[in-house]
Chains A and B, each alone.
Chain A
């Protein structure tokens, strides 16, 4: 079975540019999560969706960040404009509703110069 697929795996761009990260969840999963991981702050939940509807976006750092889930098989996380402090590894995860484990993609390593 294909797991959670994230693209790109690496992104290097200059500050001020728009960055779009993409995620394809596991087919049939109805919850999707975006996380950010840094050495300083560890693993942070940014936003999550149930059945394509955003449920909790309290972890989104500021208005420069936005996330969408137009259908059950695709989600994006956008940063506009990007800043060097946004440099991190961004993970997408999906799961079934209930007490089921989350399945993580291998992340996008983002570097903002």
Chain B
């Protein structure tokens, strides 16, 4: 069975500072991993994905994530946070032969203060 954990319900960061939103996964086999962002009253929006290859993945809006197989982690990062980055972030994992079904983490609320 798959599981995805986002250990922090909320992350607070000052504008201009680097941010990290944590995600760990547990799957049997080789996972593919996603990050999504949700703004108020909107659906989840795809940010980036890791399938294979380079462990550092770059995505939309300056976000990037690092796949670490030994730590089973896929943390989301951004060098310099913007107030407009404040939103709910979801990590998700999928595996081959599971159709397109994804397992989502519980979400982390990112608050960027001016």
Contacts and interface: CB of A to CB of B under 8 A. Distances in A.
Contact of B100 (A42, A91, A97, A107): A97
**Which of B49, B90, B99 has the most A CB atoms < 10 Å from its CB?**
B99
Interface in A93-113: 93, 95-107, 109
A55 B101 CA distance: 10
B63 interface: no
**Which of B34, B43, B106, B107 has the most A CB atoms < 10 Å from its CB?**
B43
B44 A31 contact: no
Contacts, number: 59
Contact of B49 (A45, A91, A97, A99): A99
Contacts of A4: 43
Contacts of A42: 104, 106-107
29 contacts: A31-B99, A31-B100, A33-B100, A33-B101, A42-B107, A43-B44, A43-B90, A45-B102, A48-B99, A48-B101, A50-B100, A55-B99, A56-B99, A56-B101, A91-B44, A93-B44, A95-B100, A96-B100, A98-B100, A99-B32, A99-B96, A101-B34, A102-B44, A102-B100, A102-B102, A103-B46, A104-B43, A106-B42, A107-B43
